C-alpha cells in the first residue's frame, strides 16, 4: 500500500519539525517530531491538532494493513502527491511496518542529478525505521552521471562550487568509510594506509615548475649535467584495494597533515591531491579554495585517464615552433591509473 500526506499537511510537518531549539531547523526522528506536535496541540494550535490526528490515523492504517497481510509500506516520491511527503513522516509509517517484519519499497524522488541524495534518503528511512528497503527502478537516468562511479585510487575531475577551473584529485575515501589523517598518514577504517620509505626523484626545473624556495625550501639543486632539478621527496602509498601511486611529502605541515576523523556520507567521496602538502582538496574549506570536505558524486566530472600533453612554460603564441619544443616528452601520454598490485 502507499500512504501520503496532503500538500498542506506536509507543509505543517516541515514547519513543526523545524521548531526544535529556538527556531533552529534540525533533523529529528519521528518520536521527537511527535513530541513537538503534541506540545503545539496542547497550546490549542488547530493545525497541530489536526496534523497529529491525521498522522495517528495514517499509522493506524498501516498497522491494520500489516495485520491483514500487507508486505510493508510503498511510496512513489517522484510526482504528486507523494512528492510532498517528507522523510520523517515516511519514517513514522515505516516504523509500524517494521514492527511486523515488513519492508519499505520506494520509487525514489529522482533518478536524475539528485539520484544519490534520493538513494541516501531511502536508506535513511530503512535505518531509522529498522526495516529492509527495496528501491524500485534503481538506475541513473541522467546521462551526465554515467560512468562516474569512481573506485578507490582513481584520479577524477572535480569543480568546487563557485570555482570556474577544474581540479584533478585522487579518490581516497568512499561512502561509509571512517577517514582521518594523522601526522601525514591516511587512516581508513582504523587501519593506516601503507607508506613506503621516502625516496628522492629529480624533477627538471622549468618555467612552469620553478621549485621556488617558498613552496619547496631547500629542494632546488644543480646536477652534474649542469641543469637545475627539484629533489622531490616521494612516498608511495598503497590503498586497501592494492592500488598504489606516488605522493610528494614535504614533511609535517600543521594545516594539511592532521585531519579529524569523519564518516564519509552516502553518495560522497573524499579526495586528496598527490602533492599532499600543496593540494587544495577535501581537507580544506571552500573559503581556503579547498573542496569543503567529502564531495558529492554528482559534482565529479569523470575519471582522468592520462596526460595528453604537458608544457614547460616557454611557449610563444606567435611562434609555432615553441609549441613543440616546450613539450615535456616524459609526461606526454602518461597514464594516471594507479598501479594494481598482484
How does pLDDT run across 86-117, given as a tens digit for each residue? 888 899 899 999 999 999 999 888 877 677 78
Residues 223 and 248 in one domain: yes
**Residue 314 predicted with pLDDT over 80:** no
DSSP 208-242: S----TTTSTT-EEE-TTS-EEEEEEEEEEE-TTS
Mean pLDDT (whole number) for 307-331: 51
Q: Are residues 121 and 178 in the same domain?
A: no
37 or 191, which is more confident: 191
Measured CA to CA, the distance from residue 139 to residue 111 in angstroms comes to: 6
Give SS3 for 165: coil
The average pLDDT across 138-147 equals 61
The pLDDT score that the predictor gives to residue 1 is 36
Contacts 24+ apart (CB under 8 A), 319-328: 328/206
Residue 149 lies in a domain: no
User: Where does a domain end: 90, 119, 143?
Assistant: 143
The reported pLDDT for the residue numbered 6 is 46
The CATH number covering residue 38 comes to 3.20.20.140
Residue 22: inside a domain, yes or no? yes
Domain limits for position 98:
7-143
For position 157, what pLDDT does the model report?
84
321 pLDDT band, cuts 50/70/90, is low
195 and 328 both lie in a single domain: yes
Least trusted range by pLDDT, from 9-23, 30-44, 66-80, 121-135: 9-23
Query: In the chain, what percentage of residues exceed pLDDT 70?
Result: 71
What per-residue confidence (pLDDT) applies to 28?
42
pLDDT at 297: 79
117 with 242, same domain: the answer is no
Q: What is the pLDDT of residue 5?
A: 43
Residue 55 has pLDDT above 90, yes or no: no
Number of other CB atoms surrounding residue 192 within 10 Å: 12
Q: Identify whether 105 is part of a domain.
A: yes
| Strand order from edge to edge, sheet including 155-158 | 295-296, 268-272, 167-173, 155-158, 300-303
Does 226 have pLDDT greater than 70? yes
Q: Residue 83 pLDDT > 70, yes or no?
A: yes
The candidate with the shortest Cα–Cα distance to 271, out of 152, 166, 144, 149, is: 152
pLDDT mean over 326-339: 51
Alpha helices in 23-114 (DSSP H): 30-42, 46-67, 87-99
Q: What mean pLDDT comes out for the span 221-230?
A: 90
- Mean of the per-residue pLDDT values of the chain: 78
Q: How confident is the model at residue 171 (pLDDT cuts 50, 70, 90)?
A: very high
For residues 51 and 137, state if they share a domain.
Answer: yes
Grid cell of 256 as nine digits: 594539511
**Residue length of the chain:** 342
Q: Is residue 228 part of a domain?
A: yes
67 inside domain? yes
**Among 223, 278, 229, 213, CA closest to 251:** 278
- pTM, 2 dp: 0.55
Chain segment 256-269, per-residue pLDDT in tens: 899 999 999 988 89
Tell me, yes or no, whether 108 lies in a domain: yes
Report the number of distinct structural domains present in the chain: 2
Looking at the structure, do residues 285 and 160 belong to the same domain, yes or no? yes
Q: Based on the fold, state whether residues 85 and 188 are members of the same structural domain.
A: no
Q: Are residues 90 and 171 in the same domain?
A: no
| 90 or 163: which leads in pLDDT | 90
Confidence of residue 39 (pLDDT cuts 50, 70, 90): low
Give the model confidence (pLDDT) of 231-254 as tens digits: 999 999 999 999 999 999 988 888
CA atoms within 13 A on the CB side of 140: 16
Asked whether 20 and 32 are in contact (CB, 8 A), the reply is yes
Task: Report residue 54's pLDDT band, with 50, 70 and 90 as the boundaries.
Answer: confident
pLDDT at 35: 62
Confidence band (pLDDT; 50, 70, 90) for 198? very high
Residue 118 resides in a domain:
yes
Q: What is the DSSP letter of 112?
A: S
Sorting pLDDT into bands at 50, 70 and 90, what band is 147?
low
Pick from 143, 169, 186: which residue ends a domain?
Answer: 143
Residue 29 lies in a domain: yes
Same domain? 105 vs 167: no
Q: Are residues 123 and 258 in the same domain?
A: no
Instruction: Tell whether 281 and 247 lie within a shared domain.
Output: yes
My answer on whether 114 and 187 are in the same domain is no
Domain end: 143, 178, 209, which one?
143
Amino acid at each position: 500500500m502507499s500512504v501520503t500526506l496532503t500538500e498542506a499537511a506536509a507543509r505543517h510537518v516541515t514547519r513543526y519539525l523545524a521548531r526544535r531549539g529556538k527556531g533552529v531547523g534540525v533533523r529529528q526522528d519521528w518520536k521527537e517530531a511527535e513530541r513537538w506536535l503534541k506540545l503545539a496541540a496542547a497550546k490549542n494550535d488547530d493545525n497541530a491538532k489536526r496534523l497529529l490526528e491525521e498522522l495517528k490515523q495514517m499509522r493506524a492504517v498501516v498497522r491494520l494493513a500489516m495485520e491483514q497481510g500487507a508486505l510493508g509500506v510503498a511510496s512513489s516520491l517522484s510526482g504528486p502527491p507523494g512528492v510532498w511527503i517528507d522523510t520523517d513522516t515516511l519514517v513514522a509509517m515505516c516504523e509500524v511496518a517494521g514492527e511486523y517484519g515488513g519492508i519499505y519499497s520506494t520509487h525514489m524522488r529522482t533518478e536524475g542529478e539528485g539520484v544519490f541524495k534520493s538513494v541516501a534518503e531511502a536508506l535513511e528511512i530503512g535505518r531509522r525505521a529498522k526495516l529492509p528497503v527495496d528501491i524500485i527502478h534503481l538506475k541513473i537516468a541522467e546521462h551526465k552521471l554515467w560512468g562516474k562511479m569512481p573506485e578507490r585510487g582513481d584520479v577524477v575531475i572535480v569543480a568546487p562550487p563557485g570555482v570556474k577551473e577544474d581540479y584533478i584529485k585522487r579518490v581516497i575515501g568512499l561512502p561509509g568509510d571512517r577517514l582521518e589523517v594523522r601526522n601525514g598518514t591516511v587512516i581508513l577504517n582504523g587501519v593506516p594506509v601503507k607508506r613506503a620509505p621516502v625516496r628522492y626523484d629529480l624533477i627538471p626545473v622549468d618555467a612552469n615548475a620553478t621549485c621556488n624556495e617558498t613552496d619547496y625550501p631547500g629542494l632546488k639543486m644543480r646536477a652534474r649535467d649542469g641543469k637545475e632539478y627539484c629533489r622531490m621527496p616521494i612516498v608511495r602509498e598503497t590503498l586497501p584495494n592494492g592500488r598504489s601511486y606516488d605522493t610528494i611529502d614535504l614533511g609535517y605541515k600543521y594545516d594539511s597533515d592532521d585531519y579529524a576523523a569523519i564518516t564519509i556520507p552516502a553518495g560522497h567521496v573524499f579526495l586528496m591531491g598527490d602533492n599532499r602538502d600543496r593540494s587544495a582538496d577535501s581537507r580544506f574549506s571552500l573559503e581556503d579554495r579547498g573542496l569543503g570536505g567529502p564531495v558529492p558524486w554528482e559534482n565529479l566530472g569523470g575519471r582522468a585517464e592520462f596526460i595528453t600533453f604537458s608544457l614547460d612554460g616557454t611557449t610563444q603564441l606567435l611562434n609555432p615552433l615553441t609549441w613543440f619544443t616546450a613539450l615535456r616528452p616524459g609526461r606526454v601520454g602518461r597514464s594516471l591509473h594507479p598501479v594494481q598490485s598482484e
